[in-house]
Amino acid sequence: MSYSAGRGSWRPCSTLGVAGVLALAGTAWAQGGATPVPSIAPVAERFIPMTLDSGPVAAPAGLVTDEASVVYSTEVYQPGAAFTRLKFGRVELAGDTTLESGVVLRLTALASGAVQYLKADSAAHWRNTSAYFAGPAVRIEVLARPGAGASRVTVEGVWTDANLEGPQDLCAGADDRVPSTDQRVARTSNGCTAWLFGDTNGMLLTAGHCSPATMSVVSFNVPLSTATGSLMPADPSDQYPVDTSSAQSENNSVGRDWGYFGVRVNSNHGLTPAQRYGSVFTLSAAAPAPAGQTIRITGCGTTSSPISPTWNQAQKTHSGPYSTLSGNVIRYFVDTTGGNSGSPVINLATGQAIGIHTHAGCAGAGNQGTAAQQANFRAALAAPRGVCDTGRGTVGGDLFAIGDAANNFGTLQAAPARFARIAAVGGGWSGLTWHPGQGVFYAINASRDLYTISPAGSFTLLGRIGGTTLTLTGLAFDPGRNQFYAVAPSTGQLFGLSISSELPPAAVAIGPALGGSVRALEYDSTRDTLWTVAVTGSGVQLMRMSAADGSRIPVGSLGIGNIGDLAVNQTTGQLLTVDAASGQLAEIDPTTGAATLRGVTGGLFATAFGVAHRSAPARPVCIADIAGGDQGQPDGTVDGADFIAFVNSFGIGDASVDPAADVAGGGAEADQPDGSIDGTDFIAFINAFAAGC
């Protein structure tokens, strides 16, 4: 059911015909016993059924390329439409969504060039719908790489504009609102306003009668409407799909009308709205007494003549006197119209939001809203759900994770401590490892950007890793050899990473690409081995990986799926991860590969994330210990094998071919590789060898 707000009127817009509208036109209530008027705008769109079917499509099997190609393309066109939104029937996109091999659905507005990218997981988040696109035409393309498998997309129809308006409720007979651009305020897909506030993850509040559980999209930076008042959609990069599992609300008259919900990250840039726009409202603990204070309402209300139709449901703001506070009801003489439901009620004296605008009433004691202290509302804030809940644990311990549904970095424990947010840092994380010498974590994302992150959450971009165009995951660090590693999940290729303060980070292939879906990586100093996880025909397998040539030795099945990364307690050898399907901490037996669930973390993770343990290596770091162990790795002793290995590598003189002699000259410490082999390495090795470490 939707509603329309007008001074002293109420009607369910979806059920009244012309006769019903005429019957209500002369109805009025005395303000003392007035039925409150929800301030929601009619949903200004209509649905047009259609049938499109790509059929099974895939890249030609014999195509010799690693690049994605367009395997299906069509266009949807509705003449005269100001905006277009697609309703899909089937979105079956092949491939792993965390890898570059995953099939992509690309949607492009022909009028503006705005683009939305979807994979199988983000299409599910959007519940088989698209973003809103400006203009009458959208191009639909399926992009696939060879070997990704068959995909299929069907379209059941489109939503376009219906150019409906809601009646006004203005406090002085004229609309005194002015356009505004507050990036904390958004328009919802069902005709309301929502706004970011300072909960754990910077999620959203609105009115309860706006039914947050039925919303599909929240749009920020909405543009002006057309000359006839038809709504124009925001850019797809400013649209976010609602996480309906997070929605909580109450719609039980004035003062008991509120909604709390979260959104998923935007599929184009991978950020939450709070990360993208950088600010949120502070919610007051309680609405203060009026005492002559001034209120501001900012939202996406409708307009009518003589106001320009271009302002219709674009963001506008107005301020006016605070009228009364009565229990959980706040009143104020500030202009609002249909579509303002859910707007923040802002106390200009403090800049804080003291409640949620919900109902009209300027003919009486003022427009109305739910005060911030309402008990059920506060109870919901204390017990969030879905994406609003992730990261709300107690910071502590030495196991860290990055890349939950809200892009948080923090400590990871089982309940009651749970996953605890320290900071929100970037997006698209796919690997994390600890550098004990520098006291920082290294993290990598899907764009191959490499960062350092302190345990307190401050992060520094080191650069984009060159040497490959493949997505890299599962970052690992071997302190004995001062060597970083990563894997390319789509090809199974192991890479060594060259990291220095003078040059951009670069990836150097180790051995051949052995195929398979390899997702996780971590070095284990207690066993002198690299651990990885691969998806095989026998399920998700724990494997040992050779640092010399990338070969893998299966250990056993984990018994769980959705493993994005591994962590090793370098002091005890404990092997840990998160089962994303259940959100539970899991310990893996290194002798059998079997995973044992250790309790819920409260973190909302997908198949791509990073975990790492902040611990000292089981044996001391020694730059002279470069050989003698399994597969040419350090063995904890300094002897002739190390000397011979150094001399041979130094003779080659090319760290990209044999990095064993690259032991010094770079990084924050003298004993860090710098990507080159020279006299600095020779002197450092001889000194360490003579000392015996």
Same topology, domains 168-382 and 391-613? Answer is: no
Contact in structure between 325 and 371 (CB atoms under 8 Å):
yes
pLDDT at residue 211, rounded to an integer: 86
Domains of the chain: which residue ranges?
45-161, 168-382, 391-613, 630-691
Task: Answer whether residue 532 shows pLDDT above 90.
Answer: yes
pLDDT at residue 663, rounded to an integer: 80
Give the chain's end-to-end CA distance (angstroms, integer).
75
Q: Which amino acid, residue 314?
A: A
Task: Answer whether residue 263 shows pLDDT above 60.
Answer: yes
For 147-199, write each residue's pLDDT tens digit: 888 999 999 999 987 653 333 478 877 899 999 999 999 999 999 999 999 99
What average pLDDT does the chain have? 87
For 477-497, write each residue's pLDDT tens digit: 998 788 999 999 889 999 999
Q: Tell me which DSSP letter residue 561 carries.
A: -
Radius of gyration of the chain (CA): 29
Q: How far apart are CA 693 and CA 676, in angstroms?
A: 23
The three-class DSSP label of residue 25 is helix
Contact in structure between 189 and 218 (CB atoms under 8 Å):
yes
Mean pLDDT for 96-107 is: 82
pLDDT at residue 164, rounded to an integer: 36
Strand 344-347 versus strand 294-299 pairing type: antiparallel
E strands, 287-350, in order: 294-299, 316-326, 329-332, 336-337, 344-347
Contact in structure between 337 and 359 (CB atoms under 8 Å):
no
The top-level CATH class assigned to 45-161 is: mainly beta
Confidence of residue 59 (pLDDT cuts 50, 70, 90): confident
Percent of the chain clearing pLDDT 90 (strictly above): 64
Mean pLDDT for 112-136 is: 93
Q: Give which of 42, 21, 24, 39 is closest to 366, Cα–Cα.
A: 39
Task: Answer whether residue 680 shows pLDDT above 80.
Answer: yes
Confidence of residue 320 (pLDDT cuts 50, 70, 90): very high
Chain centroid to CA 570: 30
The three-class DSSP label of residue 273 is helix
**pTM for the model:** 0.80
Contact in structure between 261 and 204 (CB atoms under 8 Å):
yes
Task: Answer whether residue 10 shows pLDDT above 60.
Answer: no
The CATH-assigned architecture of domain 168-382 is Beta Barrel (2.40)
Q: Which amino acid, residue 477?
A: F
The CATH-assigned architecture of domain 391-613 is 6 Propeller (2.120)
For 627-665, write each residue's pLDDT tens digit: 765 545 666 678 888 899 899 989 998 887 788 888 877
Q: Which pairs from 458-463 meet CB under 8 Å and 24+ separation?
A: 458/423, 459/409, 459/423, 459/425, 459/426, 462/499, 462/505, 463/504, 463/505
Mean pLDDT for 234-240 is: 98
Q: Give which of 381, 126, 392 is closest to 263, Cα–Cα.
A: 126
Confidence of residue 23 (pLDDT cuts 50, 70, 90): very low
Whether the CA torsion 654, 655, 661, 662 is positive or negative: it is: positive
